[in-house]
């Protein structure tokens, strides 16, 4: 048995992993799907002071409070920033780090450094009435849909879990200064159906720990835990 900690991306909640939990749990593993501060049931706590550091602390708390070790830590999208910060804080508790169609930062980078397109969203939020709220991205024409989800029933479900993103999440830089974090093996899972103009950084041929890069692909849109849960679970189970 291993412990999976699955961290959702911007605007979502831990509920987005609902289809993954029985698949990983049915294989005999424990699965934790926390909702980050400021989303879902904790949306009332969202505000201009909620940022990347808040979310790193959220996940560190889940792992330490439950005394989890040998964790397979999965970060989707924006949560690539979060899990990077987490492994820097508690590298001895993390067995595998998975970037799921995610931002992959270097030390001192913010989400805006990785995806310059987010700077327009940041500027819009700062100019808005609230000064900090970033509304969810809009639904796009097929085959891109809402975060890559195209089934009408699934789109309706996804909309129930979306809430505004605090702008500070994209402004704060991640701290990656613990050498122990480099020893943690990494896996990158890329979703191949993405709108034009959405570019990801190439993955280095060698991981920070010296092992060859491990990059897997899923032929689906961004929210692959909703569109291809069985296939995603199959990949994650290969790491157990």
Which sequence positions are flagged as catalytic? Answer: 77
Structure tokens at 103: 């931002």
* Beta-sheet pairing, 186-191 with 215-218: parallel
Instruction: Compute the half-sphere exposure of residue 25: CA atoms within 13 Å on the CB side of its CA.
Output: 12
Residues in CB range of 196: below 8 A, 6 or more apart: none
Question: Helices 52-65 and 79-89, interaxial angle, to 10°?
Answer: 50
Instruction: Compute the half-sphere exposure of residue 147: CA atoms within 13 Å on the CB side of its CA.
Output: 26
Q: How many CB atoms lie within 10 A of CB 69?
A: 13
- Residue 40 DSSP class: G
């Amino acid at each position: 048995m291993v412990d999976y900690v699955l961290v959702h991306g911007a605007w979502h909640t831990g509920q987005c992993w609902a289809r993954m939990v029985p698949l990983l749990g049915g294989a005999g593993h424990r699965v934790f799907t926390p909702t980050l501060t400021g989303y879902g049931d904790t949306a009332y706590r969202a505000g201009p002071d909620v940022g990347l550091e808040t979310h790193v602390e959220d996940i560190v708390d889940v792992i330490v409070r439950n005394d989890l070790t040998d964790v397979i830590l999965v970060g989707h999208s924006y949560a690539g920033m979060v899990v990077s910060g987490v492994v820097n804080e508690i590298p001895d508790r993390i067995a595998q780090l998975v970037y799921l169609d995610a931002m992959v930062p270097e030390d001192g980078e913010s989400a805006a450094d990785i995806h310059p397109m987010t700077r327009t969203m940041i500027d819009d939020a700062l100019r808005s009435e609230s000064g900090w709220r970033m509304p969810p991205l809009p639904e796009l024409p097929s085959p891109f849909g809402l975060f890559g989800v195209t089934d009408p029933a699934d789109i309706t479900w996804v909309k129930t879990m979306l809430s505004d993103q605090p702008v500070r999440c994209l402004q704060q830089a991640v701290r990656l200064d613990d050498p122990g974090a480099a020893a943690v093996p990494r896996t990158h899972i890329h979703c191949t159906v993405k709108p034009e103009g959405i570019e990801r950084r190439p993955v280095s041929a060698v991981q920070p720990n010296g092992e060859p890069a491990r990059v897997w692909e899923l032929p689906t849109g961004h929210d692959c835990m909703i569109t291809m849960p069985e296939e995603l679970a199959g990949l994650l189970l290969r790491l157990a």
